[in-house]
Amino acid sequence: MKTEKEILPSIDSPRDLQALSIEQLERLAVEMRRALCTVAGTRTAHFASNLGVVELCIALHRVFDFSRDRLIWDTGHQIYPHKLLTGRFPQFATIRTKGGLMGYPNPAESPYDLFMTGHAGCSVSTALGLASGDGLRGEDDRRSVAVIGDGALPSGIVFEALNNAGFLKKRLLVILNDNKMSICPRVGAVAEYLDLIRTNPWYRGIRDQATELIKGVPMVGESMERMFSNVKDSLKATLHGGMLFEALGVRYFGPVEGHSLPSLIRYLELVKDEDGPILLHVLTEKGHGFKPAAADPVFFHTPAPFECDDDDCIVSIKRSSTRAYTDVAAASIADCLRRDPRVTVLTAAMCQGNKLEKVREEFPDRFFDVGICESHAVAFAAGQAKAGCRPIVDIYSTFLQRSYDQIFQEVCLQNLPVVFMLDRAGLTGPDGPTHHGAFDLGYLRLFPNMAVLAPGDEHDLQAMLDWALEQPGPVAIRYPKSAVAKHDGPRTAIELGRAECLADGHDGLVVACGTLLGEALSAAAELRRDGLEVAVINARFVKPLDTSLLVERCEAAPWVVTVEENALPTGFGSALLEALNDAASQGDQRPTAPLVRLGLPDRFIEHGERAELLADLGLDAAGISAVCRRLAGRAPHAVGHASSMS
């Protein structure tokens, strides 16, 4: 039997799609899904969302020329099919590995990637900006397309952009990729509105038939056109068509079947050259084409590596048995909800990522998923706190940045008891620079009334949450995406602005902020075998600092090293330097001990496994001990790129 030659290896650029028949494009879609399954079988990767946009990606590149036209993929985790069609198939096996392709759009990889996108909701704004900029430069023939999911649609910035697009009337095509999901099933009134459109086929049929009827009437006058327009609007209002978008000045088309290439191509050709902003509503299935992912799109959003047979049945899943800080945080939150009826928990479409599914099931009345709306989540929590509740806002560090003004105005300025749990703080590994929680210590410690804590291990995290819920003002607790550690020996209770000394020594001092405490203790043990006795302090608090202990120990030590998994500018090391400077300005002389700050350098860190990145940045035990040896005169002088001498 003759085997047909594979198409995907021959696709060097989207231009190659033009020579393919519909049948060949459909074969190409099967091959692309096979490539996605191969990657997902070897490492954790975004999977179900990419399966759902294969046909949409093919159709977009068939109809548009994105070597000149503009394409923005919102959030960006569904970029894999786009990479396969834009010359990156030979490198596709390297995706999400150190030195390989990024799992998100990356302009450094391809001119077809315009923005490095990893946060939801920004595609419509940037696509509208591109359309506006092209117009100002006399390039009105360039088309601007944004692909946004229904989970990202309720983000406040999306409606700001649609409102502006309806006013500017620039040529802009917004593809609403509606698969009824974010990571978990979508929530909110907009989701219910889209469900009404999705389940109502009458509007589309009546609209299309009426349009054809009017086209068939010769010499239709303005009055007839106005009448038809009014009838059309009335039908939309009655049958729940796209009135929400039309009211914003954005013309609505759809809904369209998102896995039919002929239908997608026909509709994209229809709207391609239309003037003004248009929203094309495309219905897709998350996980389409792979039965297990379609049946369980939540698990298969970013599944553990798996094996399956020829019938797409899962044979095995390489689940990790390691307990992570996220597990500890979720269990601790559940315990707090059980003990105190005032406690609530809020998340922004990250119930699964924050492992809060059991909390949602056990406490449905006190669990609030607000969708991808971080600013609203924080202001909402402020209102709950003012009413006497004790809200816990559980959001990834990188996403909490989106609510910066609300942290300032609604929480800190009012001094309200909101607890912020910052998951994925520090290096998040293969997700890369859009997701690394590199800046939270700096952006949070600036605010009056805010207490900022960084647990050194599992014990600290549990105790810190209990302590935080007893405080009269806002508290932030940050923890990484990594396996938990628990350090043996006696531990002190959590007290406001109090550190703890876990190892003593007179040859030098290491002050560890956060869960790199384990690396610092390992470095101290290694140095002890070499005859160097180095003290290790678990800082616990970034704000307020334990100035009495830290200043005293820093002044007495021959040298000091601070260690943090945060950007060095405005981080923990900077806070300690400020405290030492303040102490010196009030005393007889300045401390003379050299202080080296180890942390994330002033650049964006690429993707890779967390252990690989820590080693590269000199933040593992080997890197810390090397700096300590240099300061003790045991090694040649060399300052790593992740350190700063003060």
Letter string b/e over residues 218-245, b meaning 16 or more CB atoms within 10 A of that residue's CB: eeeeeeeeeebeeebeebbeebbbbbbb
User: Judging by DSSP bridges, how do beta strands 595-600 and 643-645 pair with one another?
Assistant: antiparallel
If one counts every other C-beta atom within 10 angstroms of the C-beta of residue 466, the result is: 13
SS3 call for 519: helix
Which regions of the chain are under pLDDT 70?
1-3, 181-187, 195, 197-241, 310-316, 588-592, 635-646
Q: Is 402 a known active-site residue?
A: yes
SS3 call for 546: coil
- 458-468 vs 325-339: helix crossing angle, rounded to 10: 30
> DSSP for 346-369?
EESS-TTTTT-HHHHHH-TTTEEE
Q: What sign results for the dihedral spanned by CA atoms 564, 574, 408, 158?
A: negative
71 CA to centre of own chain: 20
254 vs 197: CA distance, rounded Å: 9
309 vs 38: CA distance, rounded Å: 12
Q: Which amino acid is at 67?
A: S
Exactly one of 180, 207, 374, 610 is catalytic; name it.
Answer: 374
105 vs 420: CA distance, rounded Å: 29
How is residue 307 written in tokens? 């094996």
> DSSP for 130-187?
HHHHHHHTT-TT--EEEEEETTTTTSHHHHHHHHHHHHH---EEEEEEE-SBSSSB--
Give the closest residue to 498 by CA, choosing from 547, 442, 556, 436. Answer: 547
How is residue 224 written in tokens? 């007839």
User: Judging by DSSP bridges, how do beta strands 500-503 and 534-538 pair with one another?
Assistant: antiparallel
pTM: 0.88
44 vs 300: CA distance, rounded Å: 10
Q: Is 355 a known active-site residue?
A: no
How is residue 249 written in tokens? 């000045």
Distances (CA, A) of 38 to 44, 57, 299, 306, 315: 11, 19, 17, 9, 14
**What's the pLDDT score for residue 182?**
61
Q: Quick check: 279 and 174 in contact, CB under 8 A?
A: yes
If one counts every other C-beta atom within 10 angstroms of the C-beta of residue 258, the result is: 25
Backbone angles phi, psi at 174, to 5 degrees: -105, 120
CB under 8 Å to 91, separation ≥6 — which residues?
100, 101
533 φψ region: left (φ > 0), alpha (ψ -120 to 50), beta (else):
beta
Exactly one of 180, 402, 478, 597 is catalytic; name it.
Answer: 402
SS3 call for 504: coil
Give the closest residue to 457 by CA, choosing from 567, 323, 360, 559. Answer: 323
**What's the pLDDT score for residue 573?**
97
How is residue 246 written in tokens? 């039309």
**What's the pLDDT score for residue 644?**
60
**What's the pLDDT score for residue 322?**
86
31 vs 82: CA distance, rounded Å: 14
360 vs 368: CA distance, rounded Å: 8
Q: Find out whether the peptide bond into 111 is cis, omega within 30 degrees of 0.
A: no
385 vs 391: CA distance, rounded Å: 6
Q: Which residue has the tokens 């369980």?
A: 296
How is residue 528 written in tokens? 């002890």
How is residue 626 written in tokens? 């090397």
Exactly one of 186, 286, 390, 424 is catalytic; name it.
Answer: 286
User: Judging by DSSP bridges, how do beta strands 314-317 and 343-347 pair with one another?
Assistant: unpaired
Q: Is 34 a known active-site residue?
A: no
531 φψ region: left (φ > 0), alpha (ψ -120 to 50), beta (else):
left
Backbone angles phi, psi at 504, to 5 degrees: -110, 160
Q: DSSP letter at 437?
A: B
How is residue 150 written in tokens? 């229904």
CB under 8 Å to 374, separation ≥6 — which residues?
348, 395, 399, 400, 402, 403
125 vs 121: CA distance, rounded Å: 8
294 vs 291: CA distance, rounded Å: 5
Helix or strand run (H / E) with residue 419: strand 419-423
204 vs 387: CA distance, rounded Å: 46
257 vs 99: CA distance, rounded Å: 38
Q: Quick check: 618 and 640 in contact, CB under 8 A?
A: yes
